[in-house]
Structure 1
Amino acid sequence: MTKTSSSSSLATTIIPNPNRWKALSILSIAQFLIILDTSIIGVALPTIQQHFNISQTELQWIFNAYVIVFGTLLLLGGRLSDILGHKKIFLTGFLVLTVSSIFAGISMSNDMLIAARALQGLGAALIAPSSLSMVMSLFGSNKSEMNKAMGIWGASAPAGGTAGVFLGGIITAWFDWTWVFLINVPIGLAVLSLIPKLIPQGTSKKGSVDYLGAVSITASLVMLVYSIVTANDVGWISARTISLLTISAVMFVAFIAIEKRTKEPLIPLHIFKTTRNLLSGNIVMVLLGAAWVSMWFFINLYLQQILDYGPFESGLALLPMTVLIMIMMVWSTPRLIGKLGIKVNLIVGLTLLSTGIFLFSLTPANTTSESNNRIFFVYVLPASIISAIGMSFSYIPALTAAIANAKNEDTGIASGLVNTTYQIGSALGLAITVAISSMHSDTLTKIGITNLEAINNGFHLAFISAAIITAIAATISLVYIKSTKKEK
């Protein structure tokens, strides 16, 4: 009788949620919107700069305010998701994102827009970890469905990136820059109306929030990102840069000390001992974010500044890359993970991605329309396809490695951690490659190289740097990532 009852109870606990695929659509839209808000602003920045009559330094914070707050508060979002419940935090995050988008769209000053962008980052920091945790919860009982669901959810990120570039150009050219923010509002309202109906309540646990730990790690990461972002202007060995880096290091050491002594830490340090893959996967995600976002940023600049494409043309040029990523992440990558495991997929994917990014560094700087079209088909398109295949093979395996072996009660923090590592990697990687590109271009200009050639050579060095970063990630995967087949 005991065995029968136990078996019946077990069967009950693994019955799939009948609304799980509808819920996945909401969770994927959330991920899409988060990445959209990162990329859609890019094309509109020059128009915003002219509207508010602000400097380049002031302008960059409209972008950085979102990325930095998003990246640094993801850990707190993951912890709150575990304690208060994934659905509640997901709903709160969407409410914050929608309201802040309204304020961004009606901003009367640059400072108001920066504040609204920071609030958008806060909303995204609450949405992302709770979203991923709910995907794991809804599909965790079926490995085949889990791989497919992760593929769909994962594909929404690159889709949001490309849609942001494409829509940003259309909206800025045909409407008004304010609509790059206001476009979130109808989507947000629709999602808010569907969350109570489609998203399950989920589980929560008793506990407290480690606010001191959250403040210390956030301060550390903000200082680190800020020091790199501003170093190119004030000097890499200036007193200001060194001071910021020192503060960052001190706050990080303080964070580790706090986490060791706190009863319920923001990041239970034992989580890194759960499996070798969790630590290695997060390191790979840092490097992957650094390389991919840098590549994405500079290929957009290359298309618009070197090939003289408009925003609309640039979006069309990148469409094959995005479509290929979405197709492969949904249909091909989950099957390959099931057959080959995450290790093989990661090594192959990162090697291809490194190769594709390096090929971008071979692009010439011609100026005629005819030669520019030839350059696209001979150089840009092949590099885009190889990079797309590489990213498709890399992202989901790295994500899976970083979270798959976390305990059920730690899935929120594991999700927050892996999202944090990717976003912080993106911010740091982009800051570093932009600095490298700018310094190299300035040096070439001073010795008499034409401005166009100098800029293009700066882009080349940025692509090479991103390719090296990806190669390092591939090496780490080869040495430290353990195949899922061995973990069964």
Structure 2
Amino acid sequence: MRRSPWATLAVLALAQFIVVLDVTIVNVALPHIQADLNFSADSLQWVINAYTLLFGGFLLLGGRMADLLGPRRVFVGGLLLFGVTSLVAGLSNSPEFLIGARAVQGLGGALLSPAALAILTMTFAHGRERNIAMGVWGGLAGLGGTLGVVAGGLLVDSLSWQWVFFVNVPIVLALVALIPVFVPDVRHHSGRRTFDTLGAVLGTAGLMAIVYGVVRSEPAGWGSFEVVGVLVAGVALLISFVVVERRSAAPLVPLRLFRSRALSVSSASLALNGAGFLSMFFLTAIYLQQVRGDSALDAGVHFLPMGGAAIVGAVLASQLVQRVGTRTVQLSGAVLSVVGLLLLSQADASGSYVSQLLPGFIIFGFGIIGVGVPGQITAVSEVQPQEAGAASGVVNAMYQVGGALGLAIVTTLSITHTTNELTHGATQQQALEAGFERGLLVAAAFAVANVLLTLASPQLQPTSEQLTEATAAA
């Protein structure tokens, strides 16, 4: 049966849209989730981190499964898992239940996202049509992140926080019904390949243990047996992961890729970028509602200028890297991120949104995309064409993992400072303000580290075709 490739693209892009949407749509619902399910301040971040860590940790395994089992099969399986766990998350009646559902939802996203991209690259021939398809794919994914905050606010204010999860269910059902009609059953590779499930489990478990140790350091103390034990276990698991990857015939993460200075520096830079972004988003979503008194919808609307700046910034950055080079654009983006975070950290409860928050949102929106676009291009610049997919997968995973680790560090230090302020007689609002400021200053420190790291990045001036392929693959 002949299928329109553009209909195939519509199905694939919509699936990717809801995966990206789910990262941001939940943020504005966090205060309501915290109040309804009695989350503690330090455990609330796991609503985000459980999803992000499993998504980033199993992204490469999802790509490998698509290679071996066929991308359409894995795409459908991941989509169904994502839909079922969205329903379960909405029905959750305890923090543990919701965190568990979010973790498995992240796993579903890690399966469907690389499988969808594999189908897309095999549906469209190399050249102009594929570049257009990749542009639509990337654009809708970016739009999902921007619209998520407003959609989340509308659903929370008009219905309840549960609907930020329930909304995925009818979309998933419609997509599953459309897949046999519009999505071809293509095979990415011939021959037998291994899963390397052990590598994925060891790497993800190690990262989760370290994040848990950082989170528990605030209530239990850094020197406690619990925190030290979990951190040591996390490091041991990550060492085991490296050993497994070095010995594997088909490793999940080909460690030889990190011999490339461009890939190593870019991966670290994008991890720091993820840390700054996810931390800012989490803290500010709570601050707008709990300190400034925004409704969920108001908070979502207040985030929109940042998303708009990021969309405009992506277009500008794509043009500038060809004129002035990747390192120049990336360095400018890192500096803008520092400035934006410092401006946001100075906001207070009674100040004007236009004067105190809007400039920081816009500058930070330009900053994160100014780091992201050239970072993705540089990451794959020195790898062989047959390894570009693996390199892009590593970079994406590093971004997710960096975001999770950064959020754990920032939230822990923010909560510690808030608690200290309350102990010294500050009001609840004053303490939350102080904690918000401290958290954003720590996020700004990540951005400062990114400025220094970018100085070690190579300067490239890609062609239009190299630019399209690099940004689409990443």
Q: What TM-score do the two structures reach when normalised by structure 1?
A: 0.84
Matches within 5 A, 1:111-260: 111-132=96-117, 141-142=126-127, 146=131, 152-196=136-180, 197-198=182-183, 201=186, 203-205=188-190, 206-260=192-246
CA distance in 2, matches of 1:344, 1:28: 32
**Could you tell me which residue of structure 2 aligns to residue 474 of structure 1?**
451
1:100 partnered with 2:77: no
Q: 1:69 aligns with which of 36, 54, 73?
A: 54
CA distance in 2, matches of 1:286, 1:423: 7
Out of 79-88 and 451-460, give the one that drifted further: 79-88
Q: 1:443 aligns with which of 373, 396, 420?
A: 420
**Could you tell me which residue of structure 2 aligns to residue 397 of structure 1?**
374
AA of the residue aligned to 1:461: R
Contact 2:344 2:356 in 1 (8 A): yes
Name the SS of the counterpart of 2:349 in structure 1: coil
Contact 2:345 2:438 in 1 (8 A): yes
Using a 3 Å threshold, how does the CA distance of structure 1 residues 257 and 392 change in structure 2: closer, same or farther? closer
CA distance in 2, matches of 1:302, 1:105: 24
**Could you tell me which residue of structure 2 aligns to residue 305 of structure 1?**
290
**Could you tell me which residue of structure 1 aligns to residue 331 of structure 2?**
347
Identity, in percent, stands at: 35
Contact 2:87 2:169 in 1 (8 A): yes
User: What are the ranges of 5 or more consecutive residues in structure 2 without an aligned counterpart?
Assistant: 467-474
Using a 3 Å threshold, how does the CA distance of structure 1 residues 27 and 225 change in structure 2: closer, same or farther? farther
**Could you tell me which residue of structure 2 aligns to residue 10 of structure 1?**
none
CA distance in 2, matches of 1:336, 1:277: 19
Alpha-carbon offset, residue 184 of structure 1: 0.6
Instruction: Give per-residue Cα distances to partners, 1:290-348, cap 9 Å, x unaligned.
Output: 0011112222223222322111111111112212322442x433323333332222111
Out of 122-131 and 458-467, give the one that drifted further: 122-131
Alpha-carbon offset, residue 175 of structure 1: 1.5
Using a 3 Å threshold, how does the CA distance of structure 1 residues 140 and 363 change in structure 2: closer, same or farther? farther
CA distance in 2, matches of 1:228, 1:398: 27
CA distance in 1, matches of 2:334, 2:247: 38
1:388 partnered with 2:373: no
CA distance in 2, matches of 1:71, 1:162: 20
CA distance in 2, matches of 1:446, 1:109: 29
Instruction: Give per-residue Cα distances to partners, 1:390-416, cap 9 Å, x unaligned.
Output: 123222222233345544544443333
Q: What TM-score do the two structures reach when normalised by structure 2?
A: 0.87
Alpha-carbon offset, residue 69 of structure 1: 1.8
Instruction: Give per-residue Cα distances to partners, 1:1-28, cap 9 Å, x unaligned.
Output: xxxxxxxxxxxxxxxxx96665554444
Using a 3 Å threshold, how does the CA distance of structure 1 residues 212 and 334 change in structure 2: closer, same or farther? same
Contact 2:209 2:231 in 1 (8 A): yes
Alpha-carbon offset, residue 189 of structure 1: 2.7
Alpha-carbon offset, residue 91 of structure 1: 3.0
Instruction: Give per-residue Cα distances to partners, 1:94-152, cap 9 Å, x unaligned.
Output: 12212222333344655543333222111111123334555666779448974x76665
User: What are the ranges of 5 or more consecutive residues in structure 1 without an aligned counterpart?
Assistant: 1-17, 367-371
Q: 2:354 aligns with which of 374, 377, 383?
A: 377
Matches within 5 A, 1:2-13: none
Alpha-carbon offset, residue 350 of structure 1: 1.6
Using a 3 Å threshold, how does the CA distance of structure 1 residues 57 and 386 change in structure 2: closer, same or farther? closer
Using a 3 Å threshold, how does the CA distance of structure 1 residues 346 and 31 change in structure 2: closer, same or farther? farther
Alpha-carbon offset, residue 65 of structure 1: 2.7
Instruction: Give per-residue Cα distances to partners, 1:437-485, cap 9 Å, x unaligned.
Output: 1112222333333332232122112112111211211222221234144
Superposed CA RMSD in Å reads 3.0
Contact 2:28 2:299 in 1 (8 A): no
CA distance in 1, matches of 2:358, 2:88: 39
**Could you tell me which residue of structure 2 aligns to residue 268 of structure 1?**
254
Contact 2:41 2:415 in 1 (8 A): no
1:278 partnered with 2:263: yes
Contact 1:105 1:179 in 2 (8 A): yes
Contact 1:39 1:161 in 2 (8 A): yes
Using a 3 Å threshold, how does the CA distance of structure 1 residues 451 and 56 change in structure 2: closer, same or farther? closer
CA distance in 2, matches of 1:452, 1:49: 17
Out of 206-215 and 352-361, give the one that drifted further: 206-215
Name the SS of the counterpart of 2:328 in structure 1: helix
* Paired positions, count: 462
Out of 135-144 and 232-241, give the one that drifted further: 135-144
Name the SS of the counterpart of 2:109 in structure 1: helix
Name the SS of the counterpart of 1:457 in structure 2: helix
AA of the residue aligned to 2:237: M
